[in-house]
């Protein structure tokens, strides 16, 4: 909450960071033996896209 109150804070960066944490939490509790390989590829694509977005936001800052 404090991050939103500080001036000159890029809110997109905060949203991306929270999304990365949420997906990482999902991966940690994921049972790999019960999930299809297509689902794992999809989760990997989501992780890569979030990380690339976060990198681009941080680089432009």
Q: Is residue 13 within 8 Å of 54, Cβ to Cβ?
A: yes
Cα 33 off chain centre by: 23
In the structure, what pLDDT confidence band is assigned to residue 5 with cuts at 50, 70 and 90?
low
- Over residues 18-29, the pLDDT tens digits come to 999 999 999 999
User: Tell me: the pLDDT tens digits for 34-58?
Assistant: 999 999 999 999 999 999 999 999 9
Contact call for residues 5 and 15 (beta carbons, < 8 A): no
pTM of the complete model: 0.78
């Amino acid at each position: 909450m404090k991050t939103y109150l500080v001036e000159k804070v890029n809110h997109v960066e905060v949203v991306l960071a929270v999304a990365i944490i949420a997906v990482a939490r999902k991966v940690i509790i994921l049972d790999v033996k019960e999930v299809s390989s297509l689902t794992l590829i999809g989760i990997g694509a989501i992780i890569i896209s979030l990380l690339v977005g976060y990198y681009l936001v941080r680089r432009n800052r």
